[in-house]
Amino acid sequence: MLYSSTRGGMQPLPFKSTVMAGLARDGGLFLPERFPDVSDRLAAWSDLGYADLAFEVMRLFADDISERDLRDIVARSYAAFSHPEVAPVRQIGPVHVLELFHGPTLAFKDVALQFLGNLFEHILAETGGELNIVAATSGDTGSAAIHGVRGRQGVRIFVMHPAGRVSPVQELQMTSVTDANVYNIALQGTFDDAQAIVKTLFGDLAFRDRHHLGAVNSINWARVLAQIVYYFHAGLQVMKRTGADRVSFAVPTGNFGDIFAGYAAALMGLPVAALVLATNENDILNRFFNTGVYRQGGVVPTLSPSMDIQVSSNFERWLYLHLGRDAAALRAQMEVFARTGEMTVAPASGEAAMDRWIRAGRADTAATLATIREFHERHGYLLDPHSAVGVAVALRQLDPEVPMVCLATAHPAKFPDAIAQAIGSAELATAPAIEALKGLPTRKTTLPNDPAAVAAFIETAIQNSRAASHS
């Protein structure tokens, strides 16, 4: 399997090279040259445990890793989860909840980043090289990435989070990891600013090559690949339980990576009726899929900070496919957006809706709190504010003939303030892994919203680390 850039400016790469590159050198994102049709394997896959299913899905895309090594990487990645099913599916009232928060940092990002950390280590062991990961986080990616690579040989990680715009628990999960290869940066800006700096640093090819930069944000195809698995896992399980022949998914999203994984699963033959895209007040994606206009706005801080994003990286992957893999047309659209902050996209020829699967909606803070409260009172189930956004939008789009799977993307204990607002107390929003963080020493560096300042910090840190390792 080879991977091409959405911008069309480089030769296709095999899987391992794609993983290590992260972002394409022409500024595009990698996509596989085809999505294999697995519709004839679904019956057999429905009986597999999570790790075995992950192997079956991933082997189709990672064919330059031996089956033995891939099985080992997958097994080690999901051994770190606290639930034997890794991502259990529970029926809660009218919906099925896919719990993706049983990893080390209690967020869905662990599903991909435990895998990616082991994958990086495997590839570096083969090449003997080093990797300096530069990442932006709106909350959960940073802690999951840090926990995926902390202490690993040949890897350093630099994570930027928007200062004061992540939850206290999310910040503590990052800054309490003081391993020598971990660098936490509190950026004086928004997540979109941090994401733009990452792309700027990767776009400086001399800097990128000199310091062996790598990516763990969902610009890295391996992140999306690992997330495809749980759509098959949940979809097949729910269809088997209910006897349905199709399934829908509701996905709270800001950066479009999680829902794009579901899109990929649908392209591969999973019988998807709808992908319900749910946003909070930062609703650029909701507005786009309902109007065809992709227009950047100001970031609004909300109770679901991981979704407080206005420029969604993975939207480019969807747009490339929507444009028939026409890289020149994609470049033209992205250039217009970069220049004006807006682009207009037409539906596919003969189609009324923008997309055959995606149905977008918005849940504001009031709706989010009301959904947390309702599910707690009626069903004795506690949703975190991100998951509640997805459930709130899903409840408006229920079809009695098609089961609805709602992705629960984080443990409520990560957002005690939101839980207290919703139900009057945060006492139920607890988890041993979070309680254990309290009182730990922390380390972070505050930097201005300036690519040059971030680049200088990274360069100095790498030089000091290399000097220390040789002393």
Instruction: Verify whether residue 109 is a known catalytic residue.
Output: yes
Question: What's phi and psi for 461, nearest 5 deg?
Answer: -65, -40
Q: Are 171 and 161 in contact (CB under 8 A)?
A: yes
DSSP-H helix ranges across 307-415: 315-322, 327-340, 365-379, 385-394
Q: Are 148 and 116 in contact (CB under 8 A)?
A: yes
Catalytically annotated residue among 16, 109, 240, 414: 109
Exposure on the CB side of residue 163, measured as CA atoms within 13 A: 11
**Given the structure tokens 């709808």, which residue do they identify?**
274
Exposure on the CB side of residue 461, measured as CA atoms within 13 A: 22
In angstroms, rounded to a whole number, what is the distance separating the alpha carbons of residues 217 and 195?
A: 9
Nearest to residue 191, comparing CAs of 337, 105, 338, 302?
302
Structure tokens at 436: 């254990």
**Given the structure tokens 């319900």, which residue do they identify?**
276
Give residues with Cβ within 8 angstroms of 246, minimum separation 6. Answer: 239, 271, 272, 273, 402
In angstroms, rounded to a whole number, what is the distance separating the alpha carbons of residues 337 and 295?
A: 8
Task: Strands of 280-329 (E only): list them.
Answer: 293-295
**Residues noted as catalytic:** 109
